[in-house]
Structure 1
């Protein structure tokens, strides 16, 4: 699956518009990771536990978006974006979205 943030795929021609595609996941903090993160705030630096958690969440959201695109017959996604929002305290949603297209 070709995924681009641009409105076109270089060297390819959009033959068919398949429509809006998306994938999302909601991730919550793990109590063990919260404890480690709390300790990290004392000494400073990157909170790798959260970085890893959010990276996994982005990959899940993108994977689900790709599944949605494939189900609609797309072989590429243009205009892909990622967004995050707080759903509730200690939980965040990651959504990946774009336009599914068939390119040649």
Structure 2
């Protein structure tokens, strides 16, 4: 399935707009990673433990969005965006969303 931040697919025409699809996950910090992250904040630099956690969360959100698009019979999801919001102290929601379409 084509997944793009563009609103069109080059050399393809949108035959039908199926609607908005989304996938999300909520991730909480983990004590072991928090300890390493706290140490990294003392010396500076990237907090790799959180970067890895957020990358996995984004990937899961994309997978869930694509499952929804597949269930609609979509050929592509266009205009894909991500959003992150804190839902409680130490936990964040990652959401991926876009427009499911059928192509010619």
Q: Give the TM bin, normalised by the shorter chain.
A: over 0.9
Structure 1: runs of 5+ lacking an equivalent: none
Question: In structure 2, what is the Cα distance between the partners aligned to 1:60 and 1:5?
Answer: 17
Question: In structure 1, what is the Cα distance between the partners aligned to 2:11 and 2:42?
Answer: 50
- CA drift of 1:59 comes to 0.1
| Divergent runs of 4+, >6 A | none
- CA drift of 1:103 comes to 1.0
Structure 2: runs of 5+ lacking an equivalent: none
- Give secondary structure in 1 for the equivalent of 2:17: strand
Question: In structure 2, what is the Cα distance between the partners aligned to 1:29 and 1:13?
Answer: 43
Residue 92 in 1 paired to residue 92 in 2?
Answer: yes
TM-score normalized by the length of structure 2: 0.98
Question: In structure 1, what is the Cα distance between the partners aligned to 2:103 and 2:83?
Answer: 25
